Amino acid sequence: MRNIYLVGFMGTGKTTVGVILAKRLKLEFIEMDSLIEQRQGKSICQIFADLGEEAFRQMENQLLNEISKKSNLVVSCGGGLICDPANSRILKGSGVTFCLKASASLIYQRTKNQTQRPLLKVDNPMKKIEELLAERKPFYESADFIIDTDTMLPEQVAEKIIHILESN
């Protein structure tokens, strides 16, 4: 089976849905941010602070290149990963992409108490969420399938993905 890549903004449920999906499909689950943290021995926030966003994006690209050579994976991708055209080509070439989407207000509610979100360490996180969503919208819309998670439980999102996979 080709890899299943979950893309989309932070707080849309990629990791939660990915765990459920991998378990249901009996596939290996990879959470890219966690794997980068593990390999670097520091949090994403610390990587951003010490090395900058560009270095983090390079780490993402290297990891995606490695993952794309495997199959039968469910992969939760970082929120900005699909915005790099090289990454987008790798995703399309090695799997099927599902963009999990949520409203800015719901994303804010889901992320407001989380300290590990470096892009939201600003005076007005809601405004930053809206700006990033607008900026990333065309990239997210390039996914093979888009699922709005606003009114769905993670189990329902996983079920919908399985249904789509079985229908195509």
At 120 the pLDDT is 72
d(CA 73, CA 25): 10
DSSP H or E run through 3: strand 3-7
The DSSP letter of residue 101 is: E
pLDDT tens for residues 47-62? 988 999 899 999 999 9
At 69 the pLDDT is 97
Total domains in the fold of the chain: 1
Two tokens at 73? Answer: 């994976």
Instruction: Enumerate helices (H) and strands (E) in the chain, giving the number of each.
Output: 8, 5
User: In CATH, what number is assigned to the domain containing residue 35?
Assistant: 3.40.50.300
Domain holding 74, by residue range, is 3-167
pLDDT tens for residues 92-134? 999 999 999 999 999 999 888 776 776 677 788 899 999 999 9
Two tokens at 168? Answer: 């195509």
* Residues whose CB falls within 8 Å of the CB of residue 55, separated by 6 or more in sequence, listed in order: 47
Cβ contact 3:69 at 8 Å = no
pTM over 0.85: yes
Cβ contact 73:31 at 8 Å = no
Is 22 a residue whose pLDDT tops 80?
yes
Is 4 a residue whose pLDDT tops 70?
yes
Mean pLDDT (the chain, rounded): 94
Q: What share of the chain has pLDDT > 70, as a percent? A: 98
